[in-house]
Each structure stands twice: as structure tokens, then as C-alpha cells.
Amino acid sequence: MRKTFWKNKVVVVTGGNGFLGSHLVKKLLKLEPKKIFVPERNKFDLRDYESCLKAFKNADIVIHLAGNVGGIGYNQDRPAELFDDNILMGVNTMRAARACNVKKVVIIGTICAYPKFTPIPFKEKDLWNGYPEETNAPYGLAKKMLLVQSQAYRQQYGFNSIYLLPVNLYGPEDNFNPNSSHVIPALIKKFVEAKDKKSKEVVIWGSGKPTREFLYVGNAAEGILMATEKYDKPNPVNLGSGFEISIKNLAKTISEIVGFEGKIVFDKTKPDGQPRRRLDVGRAKKEFGFKAKTNFKTGLSNTIDWYLKSNLYQNPDLA
């Protein structure tokens, strides 16, 4: 990445205090832009257009990471809230950015936008070939509409916005709250607690058969910054590792790293979510040279080490 690109630029990162955002801001600081501004949630409600106008005043680049997001259970409990919050934040971000003469907007979409049954590996051209997996469709469709808006603004106004589709992220500083966390932090927390309590078994939602692809959060941040510098086209771009693992093998790997020696039981009465997820990552490599660098087992070990040293483990009520 080039410091010359970022020089004299004011960059606004929505969601910059979140999981992905905090990693991206750390990397962005090293590129020495003129200013980095992270709108705080209690001062700037991005669901409100006027708040967005205030947040983006004088910005050159807006990187939109903010979102209401969680795992399968969270998606099942709050589908309307997830739809409303995410579509309002995104639509108002783009409208306000255009009104403020922002030079470029980077929209972070979601893998949940893909159809439930998408040929493996997921290619960007298949994005519209079916309905998303039901448990996260409201969230996925709200984020998907931002691709439509991005392309429409480019077509009618010549507005420079790009749309990236990161796969499931993981890494240090992830969300370990059991009510809203994704699968990797949820499993880490379960296995660590089971080991500490000397439990004989750990129960996992679903059959264990679905597969997922995971991208280390630091790699995702690098990919977003590379795309911000080098990519200026209307087509969506996958960001992933190209690595696929079943939930069963994921659980086994985490249990081994943690040192849990009991039995793993799968509760088949609980939903599995999308059957398979693995991305075609060729466009990101071709367009802006992105390739994930962190080995999956190394990334898991880093995440587990961070959790064991964190206040979330020392004081579980903080999670």
C-alpha cells in the first residue's frame, strides 16, 4: 500500500471502533492520511441522514464498515431490526457522502447476500441467482441493496463507490458475546469454559456438516485498504481466503488447540445455516493484488491466545 495515495486525505471509517474497524484503523494510521475520523455511535446515528451529513463533512474517503450483525440465533431473533438498521445506515451513508462531495465510498457487504444454493466456489456473477439462506436473509438482502445503490449512483451521478464481499471474519478482538457472536468466537468460548469446568461434553448447534470459509481480520483490513487504493469499478468483489472447513472439523480443531478432551455432540434440532461457503477470490487478486496471508490454524491460535489474555475471559460478564 502507498502512503502517497493517502497523503492529505481525510478518511472516515464508520464502525471504526468495531472488530474489523479497529484493525483497519490501526493499519490506516501507518499510512499517515491527513485525518482519520471514526463517528462514535452515541454521537452519530448513521440511520439518520443528518447525522451522516455531519460525520462526512470534509471527508475525501468513506469506508463503511458499520452494521448490526450477529450469528444465526441473533438473526432469527431480530430479522426486522437487522433489515432496518443495515439498510438505513447504508442508504444514508451513500446519500450523505454524495451530498458532501466525498471522492470515494467503500461499502462492505456480506457473504450472507449470496443465494442459499450457490455453486462452489461462490463467484460474484452468481450473486443474483436465488434467495439467500432464510435465517439471515433480511440482513443479507439489506446489505445487498447497497450494491444496487452503489451501481445506480455510479451510473447516474458518476459517483465513485465500490462494493466488497468479505467472507466470515475471525481474529483477536472478535465479539465473544454468546447472544450475538459468530461461530469461531462462540466455539472458542464454549471449549475454554468446558475445559475449565472439566465438562464431559460440548454441544454444538446443527449437524456439523456445513462448511465455511474464514478470513483473518488483519488480512480483511489489508484487502479493504488495497481495494480503496486500486479498485474503481462497479462490479462487486469477494474478499476471502479460498479455504473451506466443515463445522465439525472446525470444532475439532478448536477443541484440540484449547486442550478440551471431552466429547463433541451436535444438536441436529438446531439450524445449520447455509450448506456450504467458499469464495472464488480470483477477482480480488486480479484487480488489486489481494491474497490472504495468514494460515488458518495460526489465526485460530492467535485468536484463542488473545481471548485467554483478555478481560472477556477473566471477567465473563463483560462479554
Q: 318 among the known binding-site residues?
A: no
Instruction: Based on the residue annotation, tell me whether 139 is a catalytic residue of this protein.
Output: yes
Residue 287 belongs to domain spanning = 3-171+213-243+277-294
Q: Is residue 311 part of a domain?
A: no
Q: Is residue 204 part of a domain?
A: no
* Residue 319: predicted pLDDT: 52
* Residue 246: predicted pLDDT: 96
- Catalytic-labelled residue, pool 49, 114, 131, 139: 139
Domain count, the chain: 1
Q: 182 among the known binding-site residues?
A: yes
Q: Is residue 260 part of a domain?
A: no
Q: Is residue 103 part of a domain?
A: yes
Residue 248 grid cell: 465439525
Q: Is residue 57 part of a domain?
A: yes
Q: Is residue 154 part of a domain?
A: yes
d(CA 199, CA 220): 35
Q: 309 among the known binding-site residues?
A: no
Q: 18 among the known binding-site residues?
A: yes
pLDDT > 70: what percent of the chain? 98
Contact 202, 265 (CB under 8 A): yes
- The model's confidence at residue 317, banded by pLDDT at 50, 70 and 90, is low
Q: Is residue 314 part of a domain?
A: no
Q: Phi-psi category of 44—alpha, beta or left, where left has phi over 0 and alpha has psi -120 to 50?
A: beta
Q: 315 among the known binding-site residues?
A: no
* Residue 249: predicted pLDDT: 97
CATH number of the domain residue 22 falls in: 3.40.50.720
pLDDT at 1 over 90: no
pLDDT tens digits along 187-225: 999 999 999 999 999 999 899 999 999 999 999 999 999
Q: How many CA atoms lie within 13 A of 317 on its CB side?
A: 0
Q: Is residue 310 part of a domain?
A: no
Q: 143 among the known binding-site residues?
A: yes
